Amino acid sequence: FYPEFFLNDFTIELTEDALVNIYDTAGKLVFTKQVNSGNQNIKIDSAKNIYYLQIDPKSGVKTQKVIVQ
């Protein structure tokens, strides 16, 4: 997905359907959405902070740190 730094939206490219979760640094779920394969725009309304993006397709969970500027 891109970018790692974003304002309130970003695009992810998925090869399969997946559940997208975003957590704050305290582990609180701030966003969740089931998305289809392909390019997906994700928009969240959250304060400037570090978050953890978790993508959960059938092939295995992937997590990456993202920063809202």
Phi, psi of 7 (to 5 degrees): -85, -70
CB neighbours of 7 closer than 8 A, spacing ≥ 6? 68, 69
Q: Residue 48 pLDDT > 50, yes or no?
A: yes
Q: Residue 50 pLDDT > 70, yes or no?
A: yes
Query: What mean pLDDT do residues 6-12 have?
Result: 76
Give the confidence band of 55 by pLDDT, cuts at 50, 70, 90: very high
Q: Residue 27 pLDDT > 90, yes or no?
A: yes
Please give the model's pTM, rounded to 2 decimal places: 0.82
For residues 10 and 62, which has the higher predicted lDDT (pLDDT)?
62
Percent of the chain with pLDDT over 90: 49
